[in-house]
Amino acid sequence: MPGPSILDGWPCVPCASILHHLAMRKLPLAAAAFLGLALLLHPHADHSPVVVSPREREASIVLRGRDGAKPVVAVAGLAGQIDGGDPNPSATLADTFRFDLAFEGVFDLLALGDLTSPLPDRAGDPALGPWRDAGADGLLVGAVLEDAGQLLVEARLYELNRGQLAFARAVRGPADNPRGIAHVLAHELLADQAGLQSVAMTRLAFVSDRAGSRREPTGYLRRIKEIFVSDYDGANQRALTVDGDLVLTPICSPYCTAVAYTAFRSGFQQILIARPAEGRVLPAAAGRGKNWLPAWSPDGQRLAFTSNRDGNEEIYVMKPDGSEAVRLTHSPRIDTSPAWSPDGSQIAFTSARTGSPQIWVMDSDGSNQRALTRERYCDRPTWSPAPFNEIAYVSRTKTGFDIKVIEVDTGADRQLTFGRGFNESPAWAPSGRHLAFCSTRSGTQQIWTMTRTGEDLRQVTRIGANSMPAWSR
């Protein structure tokens, strides 16, 4: 039988690398605005939840469903509810944990009202029979304890057929961050049981016009667009830029130390890179024509981008400091929207060289350029993470614009959205299991997520008009 609760005095280890101790000194406006980018992955970077060392198990146990189906997991209510707060921290923690598990679709969750099950004590485990009789393959139980402004939360998963402990973790974190604690627990559980890189601890960056408009000296009313970030499910939305102008196409570097984006300065598109740990925002491509749509290489050492510096819109690659820029395409028509393959050996892009915009692929040195699609109109390719070798893109269909996915090796494609509004700007989750995109299906342009098969659509934003999502690691 398992021993005492792992809330009792176990040593703690960091749950993830975080950006600590941002220098709070006077900075130029743009740099000061981007200090918040350190929160893109870790919104509580100075007091993030930590995982308490896991309970030892007799053997590795992974839940299995019946007859090849998903495991059915009963989720009991939290023991030791915490009173106070609006919303209640216990309710927030439980709701977020359940949402994270449901989003990934690894388990079928069996909600049995508010029925609670106490954590096992030294005398033994909880009664598992009733949960098994209700059709569950596993039982998730949890407990929460508040102490000195900290929440101590433990979650345990029992395999019901054998009555054995399959998973146990405890997380300690600030009482004002129950969502962060829940995300860590869900991430740990899904990694343990499914070997899954879940999205529970990821963030979305996107462009929003909710800041309103400003009037130019000429009297023209310019719509302001800024970059915002949120948790992957839309919670904790906050502005990252305060340019008071057009700021577009955010993309986070592979190691999340920088964000590249397109800004309009003096009427021209420029690529800027914010490095929050250094408190700096630096130009990467400025001064020579229009430069926009940056895309980080997988190793973070190069940026592909679109520029008309030589007259026509072409694809270039440069170092993040703007040096060693190399032109990759030489077409009489527009080449734009670069996207790297996961191993950095290839770049997908949009080209109109055959008449209408199509998705093309080339080696990362510009050689071996070849068309991948042959449709009416295609744009904004984004390459899926491994193990999938697929490119999502926007396609003009009979009913408008929709998201499609094409297999790079075979050329087989599938359509994910079907005519409900305009659907654009796909962005893969780090696991490749989901996509974010913008859609007008709710009436205004908003950020949505869906599975890689086009199912389980969820609306992420609702304030203002929102577009151009980027999914961080």
Residues 379 and 450 grouped into a single domain:
yes
> Given this model, what pLDDT does residue 336 score?
98
Residues in Cβ contact with 60 at an 8 Å cutoff, skipping those fewer than 6 apart: none
How far apart are the C-alpha atoms of 70 and 385, rounded to whole Å?
Answer: 24
Least confident of 52-61, 95-104, 274-283, 424-433: 52-61
pLDDT score for 22? 21
Model confidence pLDDT, tens digit, residues 462-471 = 999 999 999 9
Judgement on whether residues 276 and 347 belong to the same structural domain of the protein: yes
User: Between these two residues, 434 and 85, which has the higher pLDDT value?
Assistant: 434
Residue 6 domain-assigned? no
pLDDT band at residue 10, thresholds of 50, 70 and 90?
very low
Residue 137 is classified by DSSP as S
Domain boundary at 147, 168, 194, which?
A: 194
Rounded average pLDDT over 220-243: 90
Q: How far is CA 345 from its chain centroid?
A: 24
Is the predicted pLDDT of residue 258 greater than 60, yes or no?
yes
Cis peptide bond upstream of 71, omega within 30: no
Interval 166-188 mean pLDDT: 94
185: domain CATH number is 3.40.50.10070
- What pLDDT score was predicted for residue 47? 56
CB-CB neighbours of 355 under 10 Å: 7
Within a domain: 306 = yes
CATH code where residue 391 lies:
2.120.10.30
Q: Which residue has the higher pLDDT, 265 or 237?
A: 237
Please write the tens of the pLDDT for every residue from 119-131.
Answer: 444 334 667 888 8
The whole-number pLDDT of residue 20 equals: 25
pLDDT of residue 39 exceeding 70: no
Measured distance CA(435)–CA(451) in Å, rounded: 6
Range of the domain at 159: 42-194
Instruction: Examine residue 34 and state whether it is found in any structural domain, yes or no.
Output: no
Q: What is the pLDDT of residue 108?
A: 95
- On the question of pLDDT at 117 being above 90, the answer is no
242 CB-side CA count, 13 A: 10
pLDDT confidence tier of residue 447, bands split at 50, 70 and 90? very high
Assign 3-class secondary structure to 187-242: HHHHHHHHCCCCCCCCEEEEEECCCCEEECCCCCEEECEEEEEEECCCCCCEECCC
Q: Where are the beta strands (DSSP E) in 30-181?
A: 50-52, 72-79, 108-116, 138-147, 150-159, 164-174
* Per-chain mean pLDDT for the chain: 85
For strands 72-79 and 138-147, give the pairing.
parallel
Answer whether residue 180 is part of any domain: yes
pLDDT of residue 244: 87
Q: Residue 116's pLDDT is what?
A: 53
pLDDT of residue 257 exceeding 80: yes
pLDDT for residue 218 = 80
Given a cut of 90, whether residue 297 has pLDDT beyond it is: yes
Task: Specify whether 223 is located in the same domain as 366.
Answer: yes
Whether residue 139 is found in the same domain as residue 287: no
- Residue-level pLDDT at 13: 30
Any domain includes 100: yes
Query: Which of residues 177, 194, 211 is at a domain's end?
Result: 194
Q: What is the pTM of this model?
A: 0.87
What does the pLDDT look like over 378-390, one tens digit per residue?
A: 999 999 999 999 9
Say yes or no: 105 and 213 in one domain.
no
Same structural domain for residues 326 and 377?
A: yes
Residue 204: strand pairing partners: 230, 471
Tokens in use for 238?
């906050």
Measured in degrees and rounded to the nearest 5, phi and psi for residue 463 equal -100, 125
Based on the domain organization, do 252 and 150 belong to the same domain?
Answer: no
Q: Are residues 393 and 353 in the same domain?
A: yes
Task: Please indicate, yes or no, whether residues 117 and 233 belong to a single structural domain of this protein.
Answer: no
Q: Mind listing the pLDDT tens digit for each residue in 135-168? A: 899 999 889 988 888 999 999 999 998 889 999 9
With contact defined as beta carbons under 8 Å apart, do 316 and 337 qualify?
A: no
- Residue 273 in contact with residue 284, Cβ under 8 Å? yes
Percent of the chain with pLDDT over 70: 83
pLDDT band at 118 (very low <50, low <70, confident <90, very high): low
Q: How confident is the model at residue 55 (pLDDT cuts 50, 70, 90)?
A: low
Domain boundary among 125, 160, 194: 194
Contact 200, 183 (CB under 8 A): yes
Rounded Cα gap, residues 448 and 455, in angstroms: 11
CB-count exposure of residue 457 (10 Å: 0-12, 13-18, 19+): middle
Is 23 a domain residue? no
Both 212 and 178 in one domain: the answer is no
Mean predicted confidence (pLDDT) in 347-359:
97
Domain assignment of residue 416, yes or no: yes
Shared domain for 233 and 288, answered yes or no, is: yes
- Do both 109 and 222 map to the same domain? no
Q: Count the domains in the chain.
A: 2
Q: What pLDDT score was predicted for residue 217?
A: 78
Of the candidates 104, 106, 105, 115, the one whose C-alpha atom is nearest the C-alpha of residue 74 is 115
